[in-house]
Structure formats: C-alpha cells, structure tokens
Amino acid sequence: QLQLQESGPGLVKPSETLSLTCTVSGDSINSGNYYWVWIRQPPGKGLEWIGSLFYTGNTYYNTSLKSRATMSVDTSRNQFSLKLNSVTAADTAVYYCARQATVIAGNWCDPWGQGTLLTVSS
Amino acid sequence: QSVLTQPPSVSAAPGQKVTISCSGSSSNIGDNYVSWYQQLPGTAPKLLIYENNKRPSGIPDRFSGSKSGTSATLGITGLQTGDEADYYCGTWDSRLSAWMFGGGTRLTVL
C-alpha cells in the first residue's frame, strides 16, 4: 500500500528558506505515469497547488509563488523535496505531499500524506 | 480567487440529496478529467471521485460524479452526518500547465 509522509521543521523565521521532504513507501518513486506533488492549505482556507515533479526532474510550478519554489527528487531514498525561499507569514500552512496521476493516466491526486504544519514566525 | 468555481457552502437534511458544482473553462475541465476530494475536519483530503465519475475502492455509491462541457458536478445521496466536510474539485489546466483546485464547498448536514 502506497504511503506518503511529510517531514519538516515546523517553524521557520521570516525571510528564511522552508525545506520539506516527502518519503514514499510501498512503491517506487520511479513509477511511470505519476507526478509527485506539493499542495498547501493556509489555516481556514482552501487547497493551493505548489508544484508537480516527475522522477526525471521535470517540474511544473504555481506561477503565483514567483519562482520561490524548487522541487527535487532523490530516487535512491525514494523521497522528493520542496524548498521555498524568502518565506513570509503568508506561507504559514499545512503542507501536503501526494501522488498525482498524469493527464493520460487519469489526472487525480491520491494518496495524500497526513500533512505537516509549517509556521512562519520570528 | 480560484480558476475553478464552487459554491462556498451547501446544506441539506439527513437522508436527502445534495449536488456541488464546479465550473471551469475549456483549458481545464473542458480538456481534462475532473477529480473530487473530501476533507473531513482536521484530516488530509481524500480522493472521492476520479476520471469524472469513477469511485475508488471503498467509496460508497452514494457519491457520484459527472461532467458536461466546462462544468462538473458531485452528487451525494442519502446524506449522513458523517458526510459533513469540505469538498474540492480538481483538474489540470492544459493552457497554464498547472493543477487547479476549486475554492472548496462546505457541506452541512442539518
């Protein structure tokens, strides 16, 4: 059974860089037909897509993040990561990682990790 | 403001039926499959409907999905108090090369 687990610092200071890792278990991150995605949810608000990453390194990003986001994959550890620089209080959110089927494969996100709360505060 | 438009809230009595709409455009809903997600309070979203109208294993047939043109609809029959949650539609936007979520709809079972 495929499972995803986010890990991160919990608290980051304004202007610093946020770093999160998603560990995939139960299947290889090299599986075809799937992207690996980061999604966040500010407190009391809706879901916001951050970006999608293929195991080859091909990426798509939410342009609203203004190039602050960088995603990478470590196939040897079956993990993928997110870095978000120059964070502000507006980046405070629960961050989820998930598997995203490609458009050809059905275009859905499942499963999701349990989420990790990231607070930006001095 | 989301590219996919959902009503902020819907409500109905236990046992009744409710529908939640998701309106988009030709480059997202009109061009790609739509999926729906249920987020119970304090939990991660869960896939409810995929490829417009298919249910993952374990999802009861009280939940259904449909798509027509640039709009999609989630239907829930036989409402239960346990269905109270936030529901999101999602799809890929081919023009923007970006994943889109609707703004979410809060279902209240009165």
A56-110 pLDDT, tens digit each? 889 999 999 978 999 999 999 999 999 999 999 999 999 999 999 988 878 899 9
- Summarised one tens digit per residue, pLDDT across range B64-87 is 999 999 999 999 999 999 999 999
Among B residues 52-91, those touching chain A with beta carbons less than 8 Å apart: 56, 86, 88, 90-91
Q: Are B80 and B16 in contact (CB under 8 A)?
A: no
Structure tokens at A15: 């202007």
Give mean pLDDT, residues B10-28. 97
Considering only alpha carbons, which residue of chain B is nearest residue A35? B99
Q: In this complex, do B35 and A107 lie within 8 Å of one another by their Cβ atoms?
A: yes
Q: In what order do the strands lie in the sheet with A79-84?
A: A3-7, A18-25, A79-84, A69-74
- The half-sphere exposure of A7 on its side-chain side, counting CA atoms within 13 A, is 7
Of the candidates A37, A60, A107, the beta carbon closest to that of B97 is on: A60
Note whether B47 contacts A114, CB cutoff 8 Å: no
Q: Identify all chain A residues contacting B100, using CB atoms and an 8 Å cutoff.
A: 49
Q: What percent of chain A has pLDDT over 70?
A: 100
CB-CB under 8 Å, B47 with A111: yes
Residue with the two structure tokens 């999101």:
B88
Output b/e per residue, A16-31; b: 16+ Cβ within 10 A. eebbbbbbbeeeebee
Q: Does the distance separating the beta carbons of B98 and A109 come in below 8 Å?
A: no
- Which has the closest alpha carbon to B62: B86, B39, B38, B41? B38
What pLDDT does B1 receive? 60
Q: What percent of chain A has pLDDT over 90?
A: 86
Mutation for A interface: B92, B93, B95, B106, most A CBs within 10 A: B92
| Residue A70 identity | T
Confidence of residue B3 (pLDDT cuts 50, 70, 90): confident
pLDDT in tens, A9-66: 999 999 999 999 999 999 999 877 899 999 999 999 999 999 999 988 899 999 999 7
